[in-house]
Amino acid sequence: MRPTSPAPATTTVGIVGGGPAGLLLARLLHRCGIDSVVLESRDRAYVEHRQRAGVLEQGTVDTLRACGAGERLDRYGLVHHGIRLRYDGRSHRIDLPALTGGRSVVVYAQTEVVKDLIGLQLAGGGPLVFGARALAVTGADTARPVIHYAHEGREHTLTCDYVIGCDGFHGVTRDAVPTGARRLYERAYPYSWLGVLADVPPSCDELVYAHSERGFALFSMRSPTVSRLYLQVPNGTDPADWPDERIWEELDARSATDGPWELARGPITAKSVLPMRSVVTEPLRYGRVLLAGDAAHIVPPAGAKGLNLAVSDVTELARAFAHLKETGSGELLDGWSDACLRRVWRAEHFSYFMTTTLHTAPGQSTFDTRLQLAQLDRIASSPHAAAELAENYTGVPQAPVPVPVASPS
């Protein structure tokens, strides 16, 4: 006898991918009385421990609070009112609230965001199925697309009014869109990041972005006792080629300044290499299949935009679905792709600017280095240039969170 499916056979919105984008979309839809099912290929432990970005824009923080995911964020998140640029032996602080009318950012690990959203979903949301590997999405241009997935050795189908792909760039949802119906814009970078976690308090209470002829370095944190650190390295780097002492020495060299500065060192607990690229898929909708988050676009991490763009995507999308439910009009849903792409390209440009201004390309000429230093001097000396950076860093204001039809559960 065939076992019962782990999820209903039909739903209004089928969401492929249980990362922050998929989970937040499900939460927002639930508050508006719209049913959904989230299918996640990995198990819960894996999802809750995937290390990703940890800098949340003001709009992202506001959205998480509005949907009920703000309790732990407000308790453990680290509010940052500035960032520091380190270059040519100098250090300059960007005062975010002073330059943006009061906006700031919060350092709160994506792992914690995911834990919060999973807890809400399991406590009172729609079905969230772990270990459900999407095999294909069919019927994208029909009124009822279908997600085919495997769970515990059995194949199942989920018939939907709409399918939302939150399953990343290599997920199956992208394949539901014919290649002739989408355009891909892509840029690869000639360097990667070596990211490390270290059990040591941060050397600075704000993020430090360091430009050096030796390469870029970023000093961040996961908590008051755990540092998150990055070094620019060549593409194809093996983390095993970077023993702990080499990492600390290089971080120290790249952050050198004429002012007081002491790099705090401690046990390194994790190392990984992150390739860097910019990718945008257009449009974000084909028929009744829509792409959000990394399935739709990827940004290099220097601008801290990846998670924030995903939040913006699904907040706009939930608002469009709520409008459709309340009025019967698909106007917002029809315009969703164009609205999102305007924000996406703004974020892509800012991330490209931060990346190319702060990194040293292989074989870079002294002329190009002087151009980078001139740009950094411009930011340090001009309130207008500093405000442009601060406004982009804290994020373009996001769409309002859709109002729930009833008190959230």
**What's the CA gap between 59 and 99, in Å, rounded?**
16
Q: Residue 356: name the closest of 175, 211, 218 by CA.
A: 211
Are 105 and 393 contacting, i.e. CB atoms less than 8 angstroms apart? yes
**Quick check: is 325 catalytic?**
no
Q: For residue 194, is it left (φ>0), alpha (ψ between -120 and 50) or beta?
A: beta
**Quick check: is 80 catalytic?**
yes
Catalytic residue among 30, 80, 151, 211: 80
**Quick check: is 301 catalytic?**
yes
Q: Residue 91: name the closest of 263, 217, 255 by CA.
A: 255
Amino acid (one-letter) located at 63: T
CA 136 to mean position of chain CA atoms: 24
Give DSSP secondary structure letters for 124-183: HSS-EEETEEEEEEE-TTSSS-EEEEEETTEEEEEEEEEEEE-S-TTSSGGGGS-GGG-E
Amino acid (one-letter) located at 203: S
Catalytic residue among 108, 115, 393, 402: 393
Catalytic residue among 6, 202, 300, 301: 301
Show Cβ contacts of residue 225 under 8 Å, excluding neighbours closer than 6 positions.
199, 200, 201
**What's the CA gap between 115 and 72, in Å, rounded?**
10
**Quick check: is 393 catalytic?**
yes
Catalytic residue among 191, 209, 230, 286: 209
| Counts of helices then strands in the chain (DSSP H, E) | 12, 19
Catalytic residue among 30, 115, 211, 305: 305
Q: Which residues are catalytic?
A: 80, 209, 301, 305, 393
